[in-house]
Amino acid sequence: MPSIALVFPGQGSQKVGMGKDLVDAFPQAKALFERANDVLGRDIQALCFDGPAETLTLTSNAQPAIFIMSAALLEILKTQGVTPSYVAGHSLGEITAYYAAGVVDFETALKIIEARGNGMAASVPAGESGMAAIMGMDLGTIESILTPFKDRPVVAANLNCPGQIVISGEKSGLEEACAALKTGGAKVIPLAVSGAFHSPLMQPGSKALADFIKPLELKSAQIPIILNRTAQPEKRADELKANLPLQVISPVRWIETVQHLADTVDTVVEVGPGKVLTGLVKKTAPQVAVVSVNDVQSVTDWTTAVPV
C-alpha cells in the first residue's frame, strides 16, 4: 500500500458544472450537497451545476462550493479504502484538511468558511488592496525588493512554488512594488481578487474569525495536518483552533509544505476541482508521484490503478 497525502485546493479552482457527475453517481456526494443547501440556506448545488460563472466566482459562493466539492470527493475516496498519512490544504483548502482529519464536522466547516470569508471581505474596503503573482524571481530577491514597502504593507503572501510567489498589500504600495519587481526582471501578473489576503491587512478578519470560533469545540486531528502557516504537522486541538485566525494574516508556505510531504509519502493526491495544486507539486517536488482527483472518471482511474 503506497503512503498517500491528500491536498485540497483553495479559491480559484471553482468551475460551473463541478460535482454534477459525482452527485449522479455517488449517493454520499448527493447527500453532502443536500446538507450544504440546508446549512447555507441557499441552493449552492444549482449554482455549482448551472452557474452563472460570475455568481459562482463570488467569494461567498466559491469558497463553500470548493469545500463541498472536495468533501464529496473525500467521502467517495473513503469508500474506496483510501487512508492518507497526511493532509494539507492551500488557504481555504486548509479548512477542508481540518474536515478530512476529523477536527470539525461538515456543518461546522461550512460555518467557519462563511465566517472566514465574511471577515476577510470586510477587512479592507473594495478596491483599496490586492494581490499579484510574481513569476521568474526567487523569494529572497522578492523579499529584498519588498523591504521598502513592508510598512505599506506589501508582503509575500502565497509561496506557491519555485518561481511563483504571490504578493499582497495596500493598492498604491502594491503598484509601486510591482513596478520595482518588473524593473528587477520579474514577470508581474495582477490577480482578480477582492483583497490583500494572507497579509496584515486581514487583521480585522482574523479577529472576527477568532471571536466566531471561540465557543466552538475542535477535536484533535486523526491525521497530521501540514499547516500553511508553519509548514509543519499538527494534530493538537488547541493549536489547530489557534491557527485558524492566524492563518488569514500569515503567508501560505506551500513550497515547504510540498517538500515536507515529498519527504514522507509516495503519492500526493489533489482532491477537489481543478488541477492547480497538482501543477505546483510537480514544479516543487518532481520526484514525488502526484495525481488529481476531480470527477467520476479520475476517481475511477486512480483507485483502480493504485492499490489502496
What would the DSSP string read from start to end of 20-78? HHHHHH-HHHHHHHHHHHHHHTS-HHHHHHH--HHHHTSHHHHHHHHHHHHHHHHHHHH
Neighbouring CB atoms inside 10 A of 308's CB total 14
C-alpha cell at 180: 520595482
Give the other-Cβ count within 10 Å of 155's Cβ.
21
Give the active site residue among 13, 70, 123, 198.
198
Cβ–Cβ under 8 Å, residues 234 and 114? no
Of 13, 70, 91, 199, the catalytic one is 91
Separation between Cα atoms, residue 109 and residue 247, nearest integer Å:
15
E strand or H helix at 166: strand 164-170
User: Does the annotation count 260 as an active-site position?
Assistant: no
- Degrees to nearest 5, angle at CA 155 with 153 and 161: 165
Take residue 251 and report the three cell numbers written for it.
503567508
Residue 232 cell numbers, joined: 509543519
Q: Is 144 a catalytic residue?
A: no
Instruction: Write out the three cell numbers for 173.
Output: 504600495
User: Which of the residues are catalytic?
Assistant: 91, 198
